[in-house]
Structure 1
């Protein structure tokens, strides 16, 4: 009896309205009152009444065929939630893991136009190290952090980046056909590789961090002087960074 008294009371009207909204947001096409009633097990009159409320509030709209779809207001609410997240805190555990495993410099970065900006980092513990300040930036096409984000959005960003392939070392990819191949390989293996394309002798690997809708919003990367590789391979570094990015992305699923 005590357990029953302590159970959280759920407002049935609110829960039904949210169920309708979630169903519409997940649908690839509009849904009518009858279809929603059948899928959710609600009466048609209840579904219709809740749809009118959601429509009045701007969360759903009618299509010409009288079906209903979710509006961008639903997406905007989700975006505000993501924007209010402290991504540094969300990714901190995985960054510490990468630091322990490699002893090298770990970066968390976001894209800003055709650059990446480092918003968090853990410094290397080794005498010879890679270094960029928090708030520092680099071209998106020639560092691991940037290339991971670029690959995930390459269809959209290709034309823009095509005219901005600035050379920084003799290894920088300055021909769009070479970048095309590199982006395809990045997507295939799941991580990017910078062979010293921004700074001589400094290599990096990166992996994309994505929202539940698969939109890439950031990347995590390992950066190190090539002389530090020793017994560890770029494939091993790639596997580590892919694992870390996947765990951060999974955390974002819960927000």
Structure 2
């Protein structure tokens, strides 16, 4: 049993080399892994036979297409609501505010999960609620991290309308806020969808580095004062980052 475990560990050591190298020769793998030459040759034969590695005409090895198949299956089977739940619960408990998970649906955002707070004064929202991409922190964070061409197409066509007393209806102001969000990694709104409420959101990225959702906290505007905002921003961004890591995201936190 010990020999089998050792072989598996050594095999993973070889495969892990390809996390930072596109192609490697046999000698490269021997040098980088420290595994004996005879063992490397034996493992490479098995990995190539299984389709986990492929060898080109120059004798260099790279990851096989089987990894692409497995990677796509993992990505397809990840339920972001399930993946995010633990971090959403922790964020709710740390901030004592309602927590939402939102995704883009066409020109709207939609809450696909929500955790309520026990606070006696709280915001009443529900799963399935939609909002235009220009209004509210959850919507605007999705808009901010959309591909640039899609974002500009949307902004050129949309005509923002007031929903709450704080809704941003100026396109120039909207573009300014979107640029700030892309720099700071969060979006904040006051009274944009409902008067006297506030929302703070951060983007969630998947294994490809693309934004896939947004996580937010929301509640009465009075609980989002300037003295409390820095702490709340840090907690929301950290929750978004932790969820992103679980989805395979590997860039450094902003």
TM-score range, shorter chain: 0.7 to 0.9
Shift of 1:107: 0.4
Counterpart of 2:101 in 1: which secondary structure?
strand
Determine the C-alpha separation between the residues in 2 that align with 1:63 and 1:178: 53
Distance 1:63 1:25 in 2: 18
TM-score (norm. length: structure 2): 0.73
Q: Could you tell me which of 245, 249, 254 is aligned with 2:240?
A: 245
Query: Partners of 1:140 and 1:62 in 2: how far apart?
Result: 47
Q: Matched residues in 1 for 2:124 and 2:3: separation? A: 53
Query: How much has 1:152 moved relative to structure 2?
Result: 4.0
Structure 2 regions of 5+ residues with no counterpart? 250-254
How many residues are matched? 246
The structure-2 alpha-carbon separation of the partners of 1:117 and 1:47, relative to structure 1 and needing over 3 Å to count, comes to farther
- Measured in 2, the distance between the counterparts of 1:162 and 1:55 equals 49
1:26 maps to what in 2?
20
1:192 aligned onto 2:187: yes
The 5 A counterparts of 1:23-172 are 23-27=17-21, 29-44=22-37, 46-63=39-56, 65-71=58-64, 73-125=66-118, 129-155=122-148, 157-163=150-156, 165-169=158-162, 171-172=167-168
Equivalent of 1:17, from 8, 11, 27? 11
After TM superposition, give the deviation of residue 35 of structure 1 in Å. Answer: 0.9
Residues 72-120 of structure 1 deviation map (CA, whole Å, 9 limit, x = unaligned): 5424424433543454344334333433444432102233444433221
| Residue-by-residue CA offset, 1:35-56 (whole Å, 9 max, x unaligned) | 1121112345544554454344
How far apart are residue 204 of structure 1 and its match? 1.2
**Structure 1 residues 68 and 236, CA, compared in 2 at 3 Å: closer, same or farther?**
same
Give unmatched runs, 5+ long, in structure 1.
1-6
Where 1:135 maps in the other structure, the secondary structure is coil
| Aligned match of 2:198 | 203
1:130 is paired with a residue whose SS is coil
CA distance in 2: counterparts of 1:184 and 1:35, whole angstroms: 44
SS in 2 for 1:240: helix
Aligned pair 1:181/2:176, yes or no?
yes
RMSD, aligned CA: 3.7
Whole-angstrom CA distance in 2 between matches of 1:180 and 1:72: 41
